[in-house]
Amino acid sequence: MTIKVELELETRHCPTCGIIYGVPDTFVSDRQKHHAYFYCPMGHSRYFPQDNEEERLRKQLLTEQAKTRELKESLEQLQKRADNGICPHCHRHFANVSLHLKKKHGIGVLAE
């Protein structure tokens, strides 16, 4: 009985010993995803320390969420100060901040 198998392998290079060897592409993507150790045929351990695409995107999302949260908090603080009659430009108190902004700073405030 003869079995014919066709298999695609991705070539890898061991930077320690220089040997070139082949592994299935799923092997490489799995090791990149989980940062698991693997070994060249000569026994040298290797792994992928860099972030994979999912980790990179997750970090980017967390960074953007933090920026959004900071902006929202900043806007809420500014609104709170304006509601209490504090001008956001000259930081003085006015009974009618909207009128002050228009007259002194040339800024029209949108009506609520």
How does pLDDT run across 33-76, given as a tens digit for each residue?
999 999 999 999 999 999 999 999 999 999 999 999 999 999 99
Residue 9 reports pLDDT greater than 70 = yes
Sign of CA dihedral 100, 103, 107, 112: positive
Q: Which residue has the higher pLDDT, 43 or 100?
A: 43
Q: Cβ(97)–Cβ(83) under 8 Å?
A: no
Residue 79 reports pLDDT greater than 70 = yes
Q: How many CB atoms lie within 10 A of CB 88?
A: 13
pLDDT value, residue 109: 56
Q: How many CB atoms lie within 10 A of CB 41?
A: 12
Query: Per-residue pLDDT tens for 16-35?
Result: 999 999 999 899 999 999 99
**Residue at 33 is within a domain:** yes
Instruction: Provide the domain limits for residue 41.
Output: 10-46
**Residue at 67 is within a domain:** yes
**Residue at 111 is within a domain:** no
Helix/strand/coil for 10: strand
Residue 93 reports pLDDT greater than 90 = no
* 39/60 same-domain check: no
pTM, 2 dp: 0.57
* 30/73 same-domain check: no
Nearest-5° angle of CA 66, CA 70, CA 76? 145
Helix/strand/coil for 68: helix
Distance in angstroms (rounded) separating the CA atoms of residues 59 and 13: 30
Which residues are within 8 A (CB) of 54 and not within 5 positions of it... i.e. 6 or more apart?
33
pLDDT value, residue 58: 96
